[in-house]
Amino acid sequence: MTTTTSSYDSTLSSLGINRYTGATATPTTGQTTLGQADFLKLMTAQLQNQDPFSPVDNTQMVAQMAQFSQLSGISDMSTTLKAIADKLGATTTADAVSYIGKTVLVPGSVAYGRTSGGIEGAIELGGDASNVNVTISDQNGQVLKTMQLGAHAAGTMTYDWDGTTNQGQNAGSGPFTVSVSAQNNGVGVSATGLVWAPVQSVSTTSGSAVLTLPGIGDTNASSVRQIG
């Protein structure tokens, strides 16, 4: 019996498989799952060490081969699906370049005036508001215009400033600093200001397009709410 056990252990050892002895083994590679190579090693060890008077039943062999085929198919499918997911989630160079020359609506507080004067923007409200305010200042922090937009429901609302100050003077071309606030019967409501900005350049980082916007800086394309 000792000789048979020793031969069995030797065979397993030559295949790189340690027979379980009841003691807690210390992993050397950190591997916690069996792959195709491990499956083949186990099957080979089983065939080499089967009882010649009671060989493995054909039905069991077919079942094991079917399991191996299924394992291989699942592994290949997983690899293929990951490649497809990476491709769909990535931004190609053509996708990134398509932003150049466009204007985008993104979260921000700095805006430049239109050729015709003034700016257009939007506000994302986290809840219903009884009063929404927009304050536009120059680059030195001096308030140029204060607009009270009244009540609005939760969601995205737009506004348009004609470019004149509270005193009716031309405010120039900017850059302007835009701040927004909202309340609902005296209780603050979350409000995110959105401004339009021209795309100066685009780069790709880890499959994602990063847009360079004047006054705002680098902004991930996923932050774009609208393209103009």
Q: Is the pTM of this model over 0.85?
A: no
Cis peptide before 175 (omega within 30 of 0): yes
Domain that holds residue 123: 95-227
pLDDT confidence of residue 134: 96
pLDDT tens string 55-103: 666 666 666 666 666 666 676 777 777 766 655 554 566 677 788 888 9
Residue 83 lies in a domain: no
The CATH number that applies at residue 143 is 2.60.40.4070
Q: Give the Cα separation of 180 and 135 in Å (integer).
A: 6
Does an H or E element contain 210, and which?
strand 208-213
Residue 89 lies in a domain: no
CA 58 from chain centre, in angstroms, equals: 49
- For the record, the structure tokens of 183 come out as 């309340």
Residue 43 lies in a domain: no
User: Who contacts 83 (Cβ-Cβ below 8 Å, separation ≥6)?
Assistant: none
Total number of domains constituting the chain = 1
Higher-pLDDT residue of 41 and 193 is 193
Q: Give the Cα separation of 140 and 39 in Å (integer).
A: 71
Residue 37 lies in a domain: no
- For the record, the structure tokens of 87 come out as 């491709």
Residue 38 lies in a domain: no
Residue 202 lies in a domain: yes
pLDDT confidence of residue 138: 92
Residue 30 lies in a domain: no
Residue 28 lies in a domain: no
Average pLDDT over residues 114-138: 94
pLDDT confidence of residue 24: 45
Give yes or no for a contact between 108 and 179, defined as CB atoms under 8 angstroms apart.
no
CA torsion, ordered 173, 179, 184, 190, to nearest 10 deg: 130
Q: Which amino acid is at 169?
A: Q
- For the record, the structure tokens of 50 come out as 């089967």
The pLDDT confidence band at residue 17, using thresholds 50, 70 and 90, is low
Number of helices (H), then strands (E), in the chain: 4, 13
Q: Give the Cα separation of 213 and 110 in Å (integer).
A: 10
Higher-pLDDT residue of 29 and 149 is 149
Give yes or no for a contact between 219 and 98, defined as CB atoms under 8 angstroms apart.
no
pLDDT tens string 152-185: 999 999 999 999 999 999 999 889 999 999 999 9
Q: Give the Cα separation of 123 and 211 in Å (integer).
A: 21
pLDDT confidence of residue 62: 62
pLDDT score of 44 more than 80: no
